[in-house]
Amino acid sequence: MARRESQSAKSQRLGIILDRLAVAYPDARVGLDFTSPLELLIATILSAQCTDERVNIVTKSLFARYRQPVDYATAPIEELEESVRSTGFYKNKAKNIQQCCRQLIDQFGGEVPQTLEELVTLAGVGRKTANCVLSNCFDIPGLTVDTHVTRISNLLGLVSTQDAVKIEFALMKILTSDRWNEFDRLVITHGRRTCIARRPQCSGCPINDLCPSAQEKP
């Protein structure tokens, strides 16, 4: 179905998919817990190669202890490493978080910047993290391509690549920017609850008839 599908047909199908997912998941939200742009920035850096559930456990105590960029910037690195150890790659993550917070202080007045161009200059911050912060903290359109978006966009035949940047730009062509943030929240929630990696629940999936990869049709 997807191989010969025109861009406009794909766009139309995606619109229906999002409408259905919006009905199925009225409570869809980002999986990371946060109360400020700084917290989401840190949580997203920690989420690389780690589950949201694990990150949320770690950040519960981390955010109670470190409240401002200066707290991370001046902490002994060994202490910071220990605090994020269970998220994996902890030495690198602690180093990036500390450097990122020093940049926030030195270059952005201690505030998290609100443009993609500025965000990606921060240590440990790529397009995924930047878009996640823009969309969830500032309501600025940004397509966050995480593991769920990558997997499901391919399963749905919307893209045919594992490259996150190529996926982001391909989705931009078939989805207007006013639905980018909604797309992320819905698709990520769909990936956590129904289209689960290695065991998708196709028979109960609300977009079963619109998915070329459905293992069971309604």
Supply the minimum distance, in Å, between the C-beta of residue 149 and ligand SF4. 12
CB neighbours of residue 191 within 10 Å: 21
22 binds ligand SF4 (CB under 6 A): no
31 versus 200: smaller Cβ distance to ligand SF4: 200
Q: Going residue by residue from 138 to 157, which x/- string records binding to ligand SF4, judged by CB under 6 A?
A: -----------------x--
Question: What's the N-to-C CA distance of the chain in angstroms?
Answer: 17
Supply the minimum distance, in Å, between the C-beta of residue 196 and ligand SF4. 8
The one-letter amino acid code at 163 reads: D
Q: Going residue by residue from 185 to 214, which x/- string records binding to ligand SF4, judged by CB under 6 A?
A: ---------xx----xxx--x-xx--x-xx
122 binds ligand SF4 (CB under 6 A): no
Supply the minimum distance, in Å, between the C-beta of residue 150 and ligand SF4. 13
51 versus 213: smaller Cβ distance to ligand SF4: 213
- Active-site residue numbers? 128, 146
Distance CA 127, CA 112 (A): 15
28 binds ligand SF4 (CB under 6 A): no
Burial status of residue 218 (CB atoms within 10 A of its CB: 0-12, 13-18, 19 or more): exposed
Q: Print burial letters for 102-123: b (CB count within 10 Å at least 16), e (below 16).
A: bbbbeebeeebbeeeeebeebe
Give the Cα-Cα-Cα angle 135, 102, 140 (nearest 5 degrees): 10
Interface ranges with ligand SF4 (CB under 6 A) = 155, 194-195, 200-202, 205, 207-208, 211, 213-214
